[in-house]
Amino acid sequence: MIEADDFLAGARRQGIDFFTGVPCSFLTPLMNAVISDPGARYVGATSEGEAVAIAAGAWLAGRQTVVMFQNSGLGNAVNPLTSLNHPFRIPTLVIATWRGEPGVADEPQHELMGEITAPLLDLVGTRRIAFPVSLGEVEVSLASAVAHMRASGEVVAMVQPKGALAPRALDETRPVQLPRVEVRDFGGAAPARRMELLAAIREIVPQSAGMIATTGHTGRELYTLQDHPGHLYCVGSMGGASAMGLGAALNTERQIVVLDGDGAALMKLGNMATIGAQQPSGLTHVVLDNERHLSTGGQATVSPGVDFAAIASACGYRFAARACGLEAGVAAMREALGAPGPRFLHLKVAAEQVVGLGRPGITPAEVARRFRAHLGEGGV
């Protein structure tokens, strides 16, 4: 058994300084230590997959990260681990608890996952290192994990067994609920083509900003318009772009703009609650809504019945607006960038595909590293 504060101190000595995750009773001491330590940064996520994406964004802004969750949530994390961390070669240390460990009495819902936790982590390409259970093992295990992550860009996982951490009290300040902002409605005419609106947004947003484009045609259209070190084109992890934007915005002085889609935003609506709670002042979250999964054949989403801007206001964004058409969209974007963040824009766009649309000619790993370098020029 080890003290959670000893693990935290060892992590800090290895340069690990950003934590995110979803609680588990086995993790309570470590989470309590991180939350209670004013020198550590912890972001509580609404899902394990969101936590992985938040950590990826924090890494892009120069931090070394830890993601913590119960192993029952490993299924939620598989998608970003395989389609975000792996192609972009973004390292993080995953600490998954071992509920349902064979031979240890536990609840029936943990039985199967307990049996497959270690092989599942192996299957998704993580490097497993034993969780330290004595003080002498802490530095060795963490140093080994960090060395491997830095050399390979791979995810390292530790499976934490029951009783590995001594109890630790929690000292937490509850966030203050801010008053809800009024949603601005810029109106507009017929929806603009998304690529035309992207071109206009690219002209408005400073070249110094970081822009994260969701998976599908959005990233491909942005690349076609202009390739830039401050662009990150998501190629997977649908729904994760806004969480990545949050992780980045919390750790850089540069402006971060997330170009999201209606289908992706609906998949991870919990991200918006976390963004509102964390209040990243430099984040602008734009949902380009064509009411379709356009890149997979044009299947309808449920976005016509969803008031994204009202949701953003309810979640605590400091600016929320909706607009339709090129002129209204540009006006909304200009006003948003002049307002305190986080900011949200719901922009209706036409469900029209760009004929002959290309794909980025640079690998995801290269995109991630030049984006990290770009943010590093203005990081904190």
249-292: per-residue pLDDT in tens?
Answer: 999 999 999 999 999 999 999 999 999 999 999 999 999 999 88
CB-based contact 350:192 (threshold 8 Å): yes
**For the structural domain made of 4-160, what CATH number should be given?**
3.40.50.970
Q: How many CA atoms lie within 13 A of 179 on its CB side?
A: 2
Q: What does the alpha-carbon distance between residue 46 and residue 97 come to, in Å, rounded to a whole number? A: 17
Q: What does the alpha-carbon distance between residue 158 and residue 136 come to, in Å, rounded to a whole number? A: 16
Domain positions in the chain are: 4-160, 184-376
Q: Average pLDDT, stretch 299-325?
A: 96
Q: Does residue 378 carry a pLDDT above 70?
A: no
The chain-wide mean pLDDT, for the chain, equals 94
- SS3 of the chain: the string is CECHHHHHHHHHHCCEEEEEECCCHHHHHHHHHHHHCCCCEEEECCCHHHHHHHHHHHHHCCCEEEEEECHHHHHHHHHHHHHHHHHHCCCCEEEEECCCCCCCCCCHHHHHHHHHHHHHHHHCCCEECCCCCCHHHHHHHHHHHHHHHHHHCCCEEEEECCCCECCCCCCCCCCCCCCCCCCEEEEECCCECHHHHHHHHHHHCCCCCEEEECCCHHHHHHHHHCCCCCEEECCCCCCCHHHHHHHHHCCECCCEEEEEEHHHHHHCCHHHHHHHHHCCCCEEEEEEECCEEHHHCCEECCHHHCCHHHHHHHHCCCEEEEEECHHHHHHHHHHHHCCCCCEEEEEEECCCCCCCCCCCCCCHHHHHHHHHHHHHCCEC
Q: What is the pLDDT of residue 10?
A: 95
Q: Does residue 379 carry a pLDDT above 60?
A: no
Confidence of residue 124 (pLDDT cuts 50, 70, 90): very high
Token output for 37: 């330590």
Q: What does the alpha-carbon distance between residue 129 and residue 144 come to, in Å, rounded to a whole number? A: 8
Which tens digit of pLDDT belongs to each residue from 1-47?
899 999 999 999 999 999 999 999 999 999 999 999 988 999 999 99
Q: Does residue 380 carry a pLDDT above 50?
A: no
CATH of 184-376, one of 3.40.50.970, 3.30.1300.10, 3.30.470.20, 3.30.10.20: 3.40.50.970
Q: How many residues in the chain?
A: 380
Q: How many CA atoms lie within 13 A of 372 on its CB side?
A: 18
* Position 362, amino acid: I
Q: Residue 179 — left, alpha, or beta (φ > 0 → left; ψ -120 to 50 → alpha)? A: beta
Q: What is the pLDDT of residue 222?
A: 95
CA 356 from chain centre, in angstroms, equals: 30
Q: Average pLDDT, stretch 95-117?
A: 95
Q: Is 231 exposed, middle or buried (0-12, 13-18, 19+ CB in 10 A)?
A: buried
The pair phi, psi for residue 160, each rounded to 5°, is: -95, 115
Q: Average pLDDT, stretch 292-297?
A: 84
Q: Average pLDDT, stretch 77-105?
A: 96
The pair phi, psi for residue 280, each rounded to 5°, is: -70, 115
The pair phi, psi for residue 162, each rounded to 5°, is: -60, 135
Q: Which of 56, 49, 124 is nearest to 89 (CA)?
A: 56
Confidence of residue 189 (pLDDT cuts 50, 70, 90): confident
Q: What does the alpha-carbon distance between residue 155 and residue 150 come to, in Å, rounded to a whole number? A: 10
**Sheet with 127-128, edge to edge strand ranges:** 41-44, 16-21, 64-69, 93-97, 156-160, 127-128
Q: Average pLDDT, stretch 109-126?
A: 96
Q: What does the alpha-carbon distance between residue 276 and residue 65 come to, in Å, rounded to a whole number? A: 21
Q: Average pLDDT, stretch 169-180?
A: 83
Output the pTM of the full model: 0.95
Q: Do 4-160 and 184-376 agree at the fold level?
A: yes
Measured CA angle at 83 (ends 156, 285), to 5 deg: 105
Q: Average pLDDT, stretch 296-319?
A: 94
The sign of the CA dihedral 372, 374, 376, 378 is negative
